[in-house]
Structure 1
Amino acid sequence: MKLLMMSALLAALPAGPSQDRGPQTMSLELFQGKQFTVQASVGGRERTFLFDTGEGVTMITPALARDLGCEPWGNVTAFRMTGERLDLPRCDDVDFKMGNHAYTAPTTIIYDLGKLDADTARLDGSIGLDLFAGRIITIRFASRQIVIETPDSLAARMKSGLEVPVRLVRGAEGAALDVNIGVNTPRGRAWMELDSANAGPTIFVSPQIAPLLGLRTDIRTAQPVSATITRDVVFTGQARVFPNMIMDGNIGMQLMGRRDLTVDLGSGRAWIGKAQ
């Protein structure tokens, strides 16, 4: 049975000539000391994008939309983790090239990153996991790499890693793609978004889940927490309780910063490496 499951999983990898050349590795660069950027060719030019596992829908700036000859249209509605509603126009079928691989974002949202600060003003957008939908990727923040896996490299990841429970979340009418990781509680499994933009010292937990993890809901500062993902994968660190969260919680670089994470963005399986 295990052999049959392995065969089915490997057969589900996207076909393409680049698989014969081994896994593709893309470099990440540190940005503002805590986040990461990746290079991609869009519209015939090399451009710089944030790489954000919690982005949901890949974002491009109004300037890039003009370069591509796209007049933003329609509306994509999404929600931040605290319930704030976002309504943003879109451009469709935007092509990205990274290394030997070409990707198409069926939907991108348009947002002016220049509103944030001078550093983000030079960026061309933010790439989310939706750009890699259907593929199997390994995110290696400690080594500053994204790896597009092949059948052989995936088998090696599965052998050396520990499988962890995840859910693929398709919000924004299916345009978004986020990954939630399961955290065990006395009442059942909670689901926390894997969000690399959460690069601070704490994970975030909703008031409904907080008591199940031994957290007080009347304290807004950091509290010690231990969260069991599997018997062999336990997160120990700090947590903050957010009163208006519309999800169970949010885990970012506190977990992913020191562990390789391989995610099958087609079947919804994931494996995590040992802490580095």
Structure 2
Amino acid sequence: MKRTIVAFIILLSNQLFSQKIPFQLLPSGHIVVKATIEGKEGNFIFDTGGGINLFFTDFAKDLKQKTSYNFFTAFRATGERIDVPLFQSEEITFAGTKFKNTPYSTFDMKLDGLNGLISLPMLKDKDFIIDFNKKEIELVPIDPLKNKKSFDIQLSTHADHSIDIFTYIKLNDQYKIQVMLDSGAGNNSFWLSDKLIPLLKIDKEKLKLTERKSEFNEKIMTKYYSGTINSISNEYAHLKDPNVVFVDGLIYEGKTSINWLGNRLGISLKNNKIYVLD
């Protein structure tokens, strides 16, 4: 009888403190999750670099709040300024958990099968695990005493509306820089500031130059210089000869995807840690 009671308590504890949601991993490496916003279900990119939840206009038109005199000014990694209206979701259901009064913005954009971005602010008090092998996100407390394999992250916040995460990495096993960690970039994306080209002793003329229009404002063009460097690394991951892109006007020292850090990553915003669980 005692074993039965213990087993029941463990099962109940798991149900109370662990909530999972499967995700679709696109060929590009983007994580697509389902969430219900004020009773309306949609498909969203799970974006640790998005800063704030962003819902496309076609989806947001059915939400309760139609207009707002509040606004949010954000800057994309390329330095492009974006001014968007600021709203609050009465309720979001994600991974079996309800989140109240979460800030969000809207933008008139259309991407097939997608309704916007889910970002980090609503998870500021919730530890979560991204499992690339099982293709699931789990909301579950992470015990730092049982998970020693971790590295520090730094949070950038704006008036409690947005959260982005950063960490330190090394280039060529020598130069320590701070990079934004951006799951919304897809797999194996490594953007570096063009200011680092001389530091790394790279001949800029030998890099491949492309120019692209902004998805938000076609009048804005950004230059991208593609090439390779010797390595990118942190305490637990080391990539040799990665393809990188030096971005003209990048407002960070660097910005990378997260998949290269591990197959199973635990993220704790309240503890400023990422735990490498696999």
TM range (shorter): 0.7 to 0.9
Does residue 1:177 correspond to 2:196, yes or no? no
- Give the alignment's Cα RMSD to 1 decimal: 2.7
Distance 1:124 1:226, change over 3 A: same
Tell whether the 8 Å contact from 1:215 to 1:225 is kept in structure 2 after alignment: no
The Cα of 1:234 is off from its aligned counterpart by 2.5
Quick one: distance in 1 between partners of 2:157 and 2:263?
A: 25
Aligned length: 246
Q: How do residues 43-82 of structure 1 correspond to structure 2 at under 5 angstroms?
A: 43-73=38-68, 74-82=70-78
2:34 aligned partner: 39
Q: Indicate the SS of the match to 2:232.
A: strand
The structure having more radius of gyration, on CA atoms, is 2
Distance 1:151 1:241, change over 3 A: closer
2:9 aligned partner: none
More helix by share: 1
The Cα of 1:177 is off from its aligned counterpart by 0.8
Q: Indicate the SS of the match to 1:131.
A: helix
Distance 1:18 1:99, change over 3 A: farther
The Cα of 1:95 is off from its aligned counterpart by 1.4
When the two structures are superposed, what TM-score results if normalisation uses the length of structure 1? 0.77
Q: In percent, how many aligned pairs have the same letter?
A: 21
Indicate which of 171, 190, 193 corresponds to 1:206: 193
Which runs of 5 or more structure 1 residues have no equivalent in the other structure? 1-16
Does residue 1:240 correspond to 2:245, yes or no? yes
When the two structures are superposed, what TM-score results if normalisation uses the length of structure 2? 0.77
Q: How do residues 257-272 of structure 1 correspond to structure 2 at under 5 angstroms?
A: 258-272=262-276
Which runs of 5 or more structure 2 residues have no equivalent in the other structure? 1-11, 208-224
Does residue 1:150 correspond to 2:141, yes or no? yes
Q: Indicate the SS of the match to 2:243.
A: strand
Q: How do residues 85-234 of structure 1 correspond to structure 2 at under 5 angstroms?
A: 85-104=81-100, 106-114=102-110, 117=111, 119=112, 122-150=113-141, 156=146, 158-159=147-148, 162-171=149-158, 173-184=159-170, 189-199=176-186, 201-212=188-199, 215-218=202-205, 219=207, 220-230=225-235, 232-234=236-238
Quick one: distance in 2 between partners of 1:191 and 1:217?
A: 22
